[in-house]
Amino acid sequence: MNRKKQASAAAIVEVVIETPKGSRNKYAYDPTKKAFKLSKVLAEGMMFPYDFGFVPSTKAADGDPLDVLVLMDEPTFPGCMLDCGLIGVMEAEQEEEGKMVRNDRLIAVATQSLRYADVKHVRDLNDTVLKQIEAFFVNYQKLRNVELRILGRRGPEGALEILRKATEQKHAA
């Protein structure tokens, strides 16, 4: 796990932002071109609730790098690399080519954040905010005619377990 560092209370990971908070444009990193590309535009009235990116050198169950929703004070930009503390994971599965595939989203706090500095576990967040984040992902996929099911939430230990698996999966490939 060369990208993961240990902190006293939480795992610190490097996250590359693909899509900043407040954006209707969904960007995706294209590793073959080593550039960010516009992948889609969200429906009118929808926007990313927080910065959204991935953990480099990981491979999630859906074949992509592990997704991360990053809580911080202000939006960044595509390609910005941040150190983030893992606070939990939103476990989910979504329909891909007629079958359900895991597509979890880690939830993290940027280490530079002032507003979220005291958030160490998903349970530290307002439950309404968490439900709204889950609803965003469900509705975002629904508008693309893709079913997404939220399976549950786990804390930092669950996030770290998923990160370990995704790192091992990348190195096994």
- Predicted confidence band at 6 (pLDDT cuts at 50, 70, 90)? very low
pLDDT digits (tens, 9 = 90+) for 19-46: 999 999 999 999 999 999 999 999 999 9
* Averaged pLDDT of the chain: 92
Q: What is the pLDDT of residue 171?
A: 79
Which residues face 86 on adjacent strands?
Answer: 108
Binning pLDDT at 50, 70 and 90, where does residue 2 land? Answer: very low
Q: What is the mean pLDDT of residues 140-168?
A: 94
- Report pTM: 0.91
Instruction: Give residue-wise pLDDT tens across range 67-122.
Output: 999 999 999 999 999 999 999 999 999 998 889 999 999 999 999 999 999 999 99
Is 3.90.80.10 the CATH classification of the domain at 4-172? yes
Q: What is the distance between the alpha carbons of residues 130 and 62, in angstroms, rounded to a whole number?
A: 23
Residue 130 has pLDDT above 70, yes or no: yes
Residue type, 30: D
